Homo-oligomer: A and B are copies of this chain.
Amino acid sequence: MKFSFRPTEGAFYELFTRAAQNLVRGTELLNELALPGVDVQSVSDRLTDVEHDSDEITHTLYKKINSTFITPFDREDIYSLGSQLDDVMDHLEAVGNLLYLYGLTELPSLPREMHELVNVLDQQAKITADAMPRLKTMKNLEEYWIEINRLENDGDRAYRMLLVRLFSGEYDALTVLKMKEVADELEAACDAFEHVANTVETITVKES
């Protein structure tokens, strides 16, 4: 294995930024699923493509950790941040896949609270992608993690109201179970964005 002796920090920030930009692509694809007459299988397939691209970014990041002599911050934290960005993508892909596999988009309409959750994820993705390049200077990151936490609270409320709706008797038991699986993945994605933000906060605390 070839070791690089000069800090090549730039590569790390670029990989984090690319991983976060893929999350924006992911939430945009989820938004497409709400459009009338959309080809659900095609959207689900494109989500899988983005997810594979994210896997490659994570793999490149891990190899870079192992081959770099001086990393911009703790190896373990780089590792955590990479795997947590990857986790968000896994949940976004699962949402698209499950909607397709369970045939839920064939329903007249999905519950409004589901769209609210996708909207929260979309905002979380955008501010995460904006924040990643700022890791370089470690400046102006506090507003990012505060906002992610605020959005995660919004997501929690929307999730709770979604369950109240699902359990209201409006849908049959099997449809409820299917939608519950999708709801759980949406909520897990919200949480996963928060884990990313918590790791950014931890890194900042250590470096301050």
A interface residues, Cβ below 8 angstroms from B: 62, 65-66, 75-76, 79, 83, 97-98, 101-102, 160, 163-164, 166-167, 169, 173-174, 176-178, 180-181, 198, 202, 205-206, 208
Contacts and interface: CB of A to CB of B under 8 A. Distances in A.
B174 A177 contact: no
Contacts of A98: 160
Contacts of A181: 163
B167 A66 contact: no
Given A173-B174, A176-B177, A75 B205 contact: yes
B79 A205 contact: yes
B79 A202 contact: yes
28 contacts: A62-B205, A66-B205, A66-B208, A75-B205, A75-B206, A76-B205, A76-B206, A79-B202, A79-B205, A83-B198, A97-B160, A98-B160, A101-B160, A101-B164, A102-B164, A102-B167, A163-B181, A167-B174, A167-B177, A167-B178, A169-B174, A173-B173, A173-B174, A173-B176, A174-B176, A176-B177, A177-B177, A177-B180
A180 B177 CA distance: 10
Contacts of A76: 202, 205-206
Q: Which of A75, A79, A174 has the most CB of B within 10 A?
A: A174
Contacts of A102: 164, 167
A181 B169 CA distance: 16
Q: Which of A83, A102, A169, A198 has the most CB of B within 10 A?
A: A102
A27 B172 CA distance: 34
Contacts of A202: 76, 79
Nearest to A166: B177
A2 to B, nearest CB: 14
